[in-house]
């Protein structure tokens, strides 16, 4: 049951496969890599519930939302496409423990994470740059609009939009604003 997906500049595709029915050590959650030649390989098998995923612009880091531990992790990409053991990247000290979910990245490499009460904007160094509280659980986020500066946030039966000053990277321009 693949959930979220990203692609690196060198063409590798990474996707999360969370086992929502059986999260934890007995579950079959994992993160996979599909190489440009089509080879499929499991690259993370020790996360109980991987969810959102995105690659850094420089292709050196993969970020994964850990919906079981309720935080975000980062993994260094190795030359062969495998990932290192990873580390906790972002874990804000807030009472809200709603699950981290979707994510996106802007042209400067700042990350946008949904979960834990809203939308978090985080630097590539893991520092909070801002927080947008949301009245409902938010699940995904993406840039769009003619100039790529319109941020769409999906929530429980709602879609929010925020006009920003920074665009998302690598967006297809749809002409919709």
pLDDT on residue 174: 38
Flag residues of the chain having pLDDT under 50: 171-177
pLDDT on residue 123: 98
Q: Give the β-pairing of 71-76 and 61-66.
A: antiparallel
pLDDT on residue 173: 39
DSSP 134: -
Q: Is the dihedral of CA 55, 58, 61, 66 positive or negative?
A: negative
- The alpha carbons of the chain give a radius of gyration, in whole angstroms, of 16
In terms of pTM, does the model score above 0.75? yes
Which residues have a Cβ under 8 Å from the Cβ of 158 and sit 6 or more positions away?
136
Nearest one of 8, 5, 14, 3 to 43, comparing CA atoms: 14
pLDDT on residue 175: 39
């Amino acid at each position: 049951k693949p959930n979220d997906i990203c692609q690196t500049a060198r063409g590798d595709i990474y996707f999360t496969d969370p086992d929502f029915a059986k999260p934890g050590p007995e579950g079959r959650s994992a993160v996979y890599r599909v190489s440009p030649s089509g080879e499929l390989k499991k690259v993370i098998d020790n996360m109980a519930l991987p969810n959102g995923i995105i690659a850094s612009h420089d292709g050196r880091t993969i970020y994964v939302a850990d919906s079981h531990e309720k935080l975000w992790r980062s993994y260094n990409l190795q030359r062969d496409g495998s990932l290192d053991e990873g580390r906790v990247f972002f874990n804000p000290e807030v009472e809200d423990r709603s699950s981290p979910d979707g994510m996106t990245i802007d042209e400067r490499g700042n990350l946008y994470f949904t979960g834990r009460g809203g939308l978090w904007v985080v630097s590539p160094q893991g520092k909070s740059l801002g927080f947008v509280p949301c009245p409902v659980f938010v699940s995904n986020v993406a840039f769009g609009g003619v100039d790529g500066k319109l941020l769409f946030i999906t929530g429980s039966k709602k879609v929010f939009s925020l006009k920003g000053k920074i665009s998302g990277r690598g967006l297809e321009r749809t002409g919709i604003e």
